[in-house]
Structure 1
Amino acid sequence: MEILELNEPERLAPLLERYIQSAHLNFLFGSGASMPAIELAGAVEQEIDQHLAASEHEEANKKALIFIEELEYQNGFLPTGYTEGDDTDTTLQNYLRFLNSIDRILFERKNILLPRQANVFTTNYDEFFEVAASHLPTLVLNDGFNRRIGNAGFEYAPELFFDRVYRSGAVYQHQSEVPTVNLIKVHGSISWKRQADEKIKLGQAEKVELTTVQKNNPQDVKDALSKRAVILPNMRKFESTLLDRVYFDLLRLYTNAMEMENALLFVFGFSFADEHILDITRRALRNPTAKVVIFAFNQSGAANFEAKFSAHRNVLIIKPKKGRHIGFRELNSLFDMIGMIPKANHD
């Protein structure tokens, strides 16, 4: 394991570029990426777990619903309902800047043996990625929903993540691969809807919150949760057979991506508190060609990652200088430099 301090981005960027040019590109985003618009999910999950440990199942349900409704409320400000410079706008611009850099990096990729494709795995339920991608006409965002004509409701079809997109010239039929981002939401999304026929379809986030009276009625809360196709970590009782199957299918995609030769994973805003994802990542690191680069928010976070991955040599932890932090802005500044620094400055 290696630990580097983010004090000279112009020297770190060429190192990351060398990784990217020879690897299958993957990202893992957690709730830290959607700050400041959305509070960290980790604290909410801990509170829910405490209720479950005390057998306070109705309180756990209520806490979970309140959290999901807050995400749905924030989503109501997207894409045009926010004020320039507010928390929602700041967060959306972070995502937009990131996707713009990935679009450029994939388009300029020099290794023709590797796809112009990146996998973005996220445990977030919000739709910042989807809305940001809608502002980038050159980038294809594949969210796993089948949009064929006549396929009403857009049914979830994870096999679509294996598709690649090409465009050909009108005269010479020269084919060029279009940059594609596979958005794999391993815990579901506020726009996913469970159907009676045991299928998941794309829909609109719920706009109506339960009243205070309804939230004090355990059955109303339970019914409201059953409409949402989201998977809350460590809360297996919320999962139907359908969600259980989808969850493990998506974890399998993560496993397969990390077991590929020259797999590269960038981790941001994610603490690895999810034991399933932590275990899969550790097992994947037995692959000697795999590389995991983790961005720690602060030095305390770096120490946490160091404890989790101390046995693995193919992990790079990037931490901030003392008293600083690595937020989305710092991450974007680094990725903006990749491919943009003259070769003479790489040494």
Structure 2
Amino acid sequence: MGDDKFVNLFIESEKRKTEKTYEQIIEDAEGLELSYDASEYDNFITAYKKFIIINPTKRKFAETVLDYHFYELMRLYSNALEKENSVLFVVGFSFADEHIATLTRRSAENNPTLKVIIFAYCDEEEKSLKKNIGIDSTCVNNNILIITPTKMRELNVDDDYNDMVCDIEHLDMNAINKIFEYINKTIHASYE
């Protein structure tokens, strides 16, 4: 498939790469002239079926539980969350998958030493994350923390991280990686 069938999600200049707005993406998509080629579709479906993917359908829970591979992954996930002093960092996951949200919340309620730290991409996501994972303001053990970009800045006003987090608008993988790289360097520097 050629690049003329896709919309670039970023605007790139010499100095930086910025995300396009929703309106810009729609405008670019409307400008595409696509033709249907059955062989391209068939090639895509053939390649897609090679991946182990849970599709977002009503049957995904049944497929996940009944399929041995996914059942094993869910069991391993559950076992990891039950271990004492476990920490789960969540980036880029909405907890819209009810079976995963339920399992995570139940583990947090049953394991008071578990810490679940969810990085919300933007401040507006906090409400939907709380709804999806099934917590109003907090969890029974107060061990599920949702960090938004604003909370990240507020929590680090007086810390060494302030310079790094003051410009964060979204907690995407790039921002999270920078934060963890800094923490990693700080931890290892204290042992030198």
Q: TM-score by structure 1 length?
A: 0.33
* Count of matched residue positions in the alignment of Structure 1 and Structure 2: 137
Which of 236, 239, 255 lines up with 2:78 in the alignment?
255
C-alpha distance in 2, partners of 1:341/1:325?
23
Instruction: Give 2:74's aligned amino acid.
Output: L
Relative to 1, partners in 2 of residues 1:251 and 1:341: Cα closer, same or farther, differing over 3 Å? same
C-alpha distance in 2, partners of 1:235/1:215?
27
Which of 169, 178, 181 lines up with 1:333 in the alignment?
178
| 2:135 corresponds to | 309
Alignment map for 1:109-128 (pairs within 5 Å): none
Q: CA deviation at 1:265?
A: 0.3
For the pair 1:299 / 2:123, whether they are aligned, the reply is: yes
Relative to 1, partners in 2 of residues 1:268 and 1:224: Cα closer, same or farther, differing over 3 Å? closer
Relative to 1, partners in 2 of residues 1:280 and 1:216: Cα closer, same or farther, differing over 3 Å? same
- Secondary structure of 1:337's match? helix
| 1:103 corresponds to | none
Please tell me whether the aligned partners of residues 121 and 171 of structure 2 are also in contact (alpha carbons under 8 angstroms). Answer: yes
Q: Indicate the percent of aligned positions where both proteins have the same amino acid.
A: 38
C-alpha distance in 2, partners of 1:332/1:224?
31
C-alpha distance in 1, partners of 2:135/2:54?
26
Q: CA deviation at 1:275?
A: 1.4
Relative to 1, partners in 2 of residues 1:216 and 1:257: Cα closer, same or farther, differing over 3 Å? closer
C-alpha distance in 1, partners of 2:72/2:37?
36
Q: TM-score by structure 2 length?
A: 0.56
Q: CA deviation at 1:316?
A: 1.3
Structure 1 gaps, min length 5: 1-68, 71-84, 91-210
For the pair 1:212 / 2:57, whether they are aligned, the reply is: no
- Secondary structure of 1:324's match? coil
- Secondary structure of 2:95's match? coil
Alignment map for 1:95-114 (pairs within 5 Å): none
Q: CA deviation at 1:338?
A: 1.5
Relative to 1, partners in 2 of residues 1:305 and 1:227: Cα closer, same or farther, differing over 3 Å? closer
Relative to 1, partners in 2 of residues 1:216 and 1:320: Cα closer, same or farther, differing over 3 Å? closer
Which of 273, 277, 284 lines up with 2:100 in the alignment?
277
Relative to 1, partners in 2 of residues 1:284 and 1:215: Cα closer, same or farther, differing over 3 Å? same
* Structure possessing the higher relative contact order (Cα contacts under 8 Å, 6 or more residues apart): 1
Higher helix share: 2
Q: CA deviation at 1:292?
A: 0.3
User: C-alpha offsets along residues 251-310 of structure 1, whole Å, 9 cap, x if unaligned?
Assistant: 111000001111110000111111121111011112111110010100111222233333
